[in-house]
Amino acid sequence: MTTTIRDVAAWAGLSVMTVSRVLNGERHVSAEARDRVQAAVSALGYRRNVFARGLPGSRSFLICLLIPEIIPAYVAEFQQGAIQYCRAEGYHVVAQPYDSRTDVMAGAVVSAIAALRPDGFLLLPPMTDDLPVLEALDRARTPYVRMAPSLEPERASSISIDDVQAAREMTEALLDLGHEKIGFILGPGDHAASAWRFEGYRLALEGRGRAIEPRLVQQGDFMFDGGETSAMSLLTAPDRPTAIFGSNDETAIGVMAAAHRLGLSVPGDLSVAGFDDSEIARLAWPQLTTVRQPIQAMAAAAAELVIGQADAEERKVEHRRLDFSLVFRGTTAAPPSV
């Protein structure tokens, strides 16, 4: 026989309304009442009916993460970090795919709010800078935390690293190895991180008295195929680079595939660096030199902020910038002539 909230209330000697307020995590409930409800829940083995979340004042204990249909390694690792944190806090992460080929991402948000009634959203690029998405969430008064926003950064809480400085330091490390011709493969234009990382590359070169050579810069899309295609253009040119910095790990792995197709050794003939330190950087061979951003820690921090907003009577905007580090592995070395 299924245990109901009325059974919990009877066992605890409290009203159904008080029990509901405790289970929904509402404030202004006495510590004694919370203890009695928790004892009743444990004794009776009560489990919440998540389908009752549509009742007025109830919480769903769901956090929504909207993800593209084709999931990059970064997104998969972020999802894992969010799930681990939310599970420890009694929340569940619902991953809702959206069609990244369309420009109507706000529709996915509105649908998710109506169907799931989540307590909050975690927004990844490019959705983090989609103003119709932000407006839809604001209208619904649904808490959200943005990852690495560039537009209206004060609008909501956010988590980020210093992408510009991280890319600058990686480019400087390649210069320190003796590389004079360093290629760079951009990410998609709707990701602010793509521009920030290119800015770091530019600052590093200019800081050493060098100008950007347009022939060494290629457009990519943060995906393996895009990295491979762009690298083929760079590596079949008459004066090919001795190092290529991919603006994320999947791009860099594509670069390594192109080098292999052309019979070039990594790092003997070509050094390769990436950005993220996602799992594929450690699975590649040689293992990939990359910028480590603490993806799972960033996800946990974002989940912590959005859950805190769901609990709060007054939502405060908070920005957290986490540290990055350079990870040197087997894909970088001095150029052949050094």
pLDDT tens readout for residues 83-118:
999 988 889 999 888 776 665 778 888 888 888 889
- For the chain, the farthest-separated pair of C-alpha atoms sits apart, in whole angstroms, at 82
Q: Are 285 and 300 contained in the same domain? A: no
Strands 120-123 and 144-147: what pairing?
Answer: parallel
In terms of Cβ atoms closer than 10 Å to its own Cβ (0-12, 13-18, 19+), residue 194 is: buried
- Expressed as residue numbers, the domain containing 33 is 5-52
258 domain-assigned: yes
78 domain-assigned: yes
CA distances from 274 to 75, 159, 181, 249, 285 (A): 16, 21, 16, 5, 14
333 domain-assigned: no
Q: Are 287 and 170 contained in the same domain? A: yes
Regions of the chain with pLDDT less than 50: 50-51, 53-56
Q: What is the pLDDT of residue 233?
A: 97
Q: Are 74 and 9 contained in the same domain? A: no
Q: Are 27 and 119 contained in the same domain? A: no
Q: Are 42 and 147 contained in the same domain? A: no
Domain of residue 87, CATH code? 3.40.50.2300
* Backbone phi and psi for residue 307, each to the nearest 5 degrees, phi listed first: -65, -40
Tokens representing 175 are 């210069």
Residues with Cβ within 8 Å of residue 8, at least 6 apart in sequence: 19, 37, 40, 41, 44, 46
Q: Are 66 and 115 contained in the same domain? A: yes
Q: Are 134 and 198 contained in the same domain? A: no
Within 10 Å of residue 2's Cβ, how many Cβ atoms? 7
Q: Are 188 and 277 contained in the same domain? A: yes
217 domain-assigned: yes
Asked if omega into 286 is within 30° of 0 (cis), the reply is: yes
- The count of structural domains within the chain is 3
Q: What is the pLDDT of residue 223?
A: 94
57 domain-assigned: no
The one-character DSSP state at 16 is H
Q: Are 239 and 302 contained in the same domain? A: no
328 domain-assigned: no
User: Across-strand partners of 92?
Assistant: 62
CB 193 within 8 A of CB 183: no
Q: What is the pLDDT of residue 310?
A: 84
Tell me the pTM: 0.81
Domain of residue 41, CATH code? 1.10.260.40
Q: What is the pLDDT of residue 24?
A: 62
Q: What is the pLDDT of residue 145?
A: 97
User: Across-strand partners of 93?
Assistant: 63
Q: How far apart are CA 106 and CA 91, in angstroms?
A: 24
Buried b (16+ CB within 10 A) or exposed e, 71-80: ebbbbebbbe
243 domain-assigned: yes
Bin 185: left if φ > 0, else alpha if -120 < ψ < 50, else beta: beta
Length of the chain: 338
Write the pLDDT tens digit of every residue in 47-84.
655 445 444 456 788 999 988 777 788 899 999 999 99
Q: Are 135 and 228 contained in the same domain? A: no
Q: Are 168 and 288 contained in the same domain? A: yes
251 domain-assigned: yes
Q: Are 173 and 246 contained in the same domain? A: yes
Tokens representing 49 are 């009916």
